[in-house]
Structure 1
Amino acid sequence: MRLTYLALVLAAPFAALAQTRPAPAKAPVVLSPGNMQLQPGGGAENRPDKAPSFPGGEEAMGDFFTQHVQVPNKAKQARVTGDVIVTATVGTDGKLTNPKVAKGLSPECNAEALRVVQAMPAWQPATRRGVPVPIMVQVPVPFDNANVTKFEIDRKVPRSAKDAPGLN
């Protein structure tokens, strides 16, 4: 009788564990300028309340790239287009440090993207409870080869191609 009672006492906690179900997985938190808020209880120490931003916003960043990105000749000849994704840390002073190519196009474009990111002015740093905090960002540096595209649009079609049957 004592042995049966002892077995029931020892088995009861394991039976309770077997009946519990794991909690459903939560969707990951997406950090974006419109989705920054304080979490109850303080949240993670590295989660900012305000995201870092380029001075003047996204439009100003686009203007900065237009003025400073020089598409390498080799990339122009190969008609390389797209974005080089550079990761960097926006420090508490707003300066970008430790830039690295996360997704590249070509060695020449990658080097140019790193040069341009290092030349960027200081950003508005991210803040947590009003205190600046360092945070990593991804900066897409565009290489669209606008000159090559413009040449293709302006190029005249040879007369022999216009007169070819089926192309009119």
Structure 2
Amino acid sequence: MRAVILAFVLTTPLGVLAQTKPAPAAKAPITLAPGAMQLQAGGGAANRPDHAPEYPGGEEAMGEYFSQHVQVPAKAKQARVTGDVVVQATVDTSGKLINPQVAKGLTPECNAEALRVVQAMPAWQPATRRGVPVAILVQVPVPFDNAGVTKFETDRKVPRSAKDAPGLN
């Protein structure tokens, strides 16, 4: 019993000292706001745009473009593959997408279709820095949602598996 009390007495001051150490001071977060931003010395990075590149008509028009031009490969339809193929490309100073590459793929067939569709896109409005067009790297998600398969499934009145189930006929 004495050994337990002695151990408690010897360890208690160390525990108290450990708790009384001041915590390191946290740095205040930096808040970027339009009125609080300053130009970097020397003008900053040469390719940092003031205005980002934009697909003509915006995101909604890009979605419409994909819905009209993306053809889901037969293998992807059969396997019911869904998702986005992320294509990385450079919007050059004329607005054309150059050097497209798959950054995140689904299947080899979907990846090839996404590259085909991105290469056929109309010219974008290029990014600008101080009013001068600059080339910028962008990532474009090309959707593969198998809308035709999904629509077919939702239009059916009774699923095949339910027709074979007893009591539902």
- Asked whether 1:88 is paired with 2:92, we answer no
Moved beyond 6 Å, runs of 4+: none
What residue is the counterpart of 1:7 in the other structure?
none
What residue is the counterpart of 2:7 in the other structure?
none
- Asked whether 1:43 is paired with 2:47, we answer no
Instruction: Map residues 77-116 of structure 1 onto 2, 5 A cutoff.
Output: 77-116=78-117
Per-residue deviation, 1:43: 2.6
| Gap change, CA 1:91 and 1:25, over 3 Å in 2 | farther
Cα deviation, 1:4-46, whole Å, max 9, x if unaligned, reads: xxxxxxxxxxxxxxxxx9x95977x9xxxxx8xx842333222
Count residues in correspondence. 137
Higher mean Cα deviation, 87-96 or 143-152?
Answer: 143-152
What residue is the counterpart of 2:145 in the other structure?
144
Per-residue deviation, 1:162: 6.7
What is the rounded CA distance, in whole Å, between the counterparts of 1:84 and 1:133 in structure 2? 25
Per-residue deviation, 1:155: 2.4
In the alignment, structure 2 segments of 5+ residues that lack a partner are: 1-23
What residue is the counterpart of 2:125 in the other structure?
124
Over aligned residue pairs, what C-alpha RMSD do you find?
Answer: 2.6
What residue is the counterpart of 2:59 in the other structure?
58
* 1:59 partner letter: E
What is the rounded CA distance, in whole Å, between the counterparts of 2:29 and 2:109 in structure 1? 41
The structure whose Rg is larger is 2
What is the rounded CA distance, in whole Å, between the counterparts of 2:54 and 2:107 in structure 1? 27
* 2:115 partner letter: L
Cα deviation, 1:115-143, whole Å, max 9, x if unaligned, reads: 00000000000000000000000000000
What is the rounded CA distance, in whole Å, between the counterparts of 1:124 and 1:55 in structure 2? 7
| Gap change, CA 1:50 and 1:113, over 3 Å in 2 | same
* 2:112 partner letter: A
What residue is the counterpart of 1:14 in the other structure?
none
Per-residue deviation, 1:160: 4.0
Instruction: Map residues 24-39 of structure 1 onto 2, 5 A cutoff.
Output: 39=38
What is the rounded CA distance, in whole Å, between the counterparts of 1:25 and 1:124 in structure 2? 38
In the alignment, structure 1 segments of 5+ residues that lack a partner are: 1-20, 30-34
Q: Percent identity?
A: 75
> TM-score w.r.t. structure 2 length?
0.73
> TM-score w.r.t. structure 1 length?
0.73
What residue is the counterpart of 1:161 in the other structure?
165
What residue is the counterpart of 1:15 in the other structure?
none
* 1:100 partner letter: Q
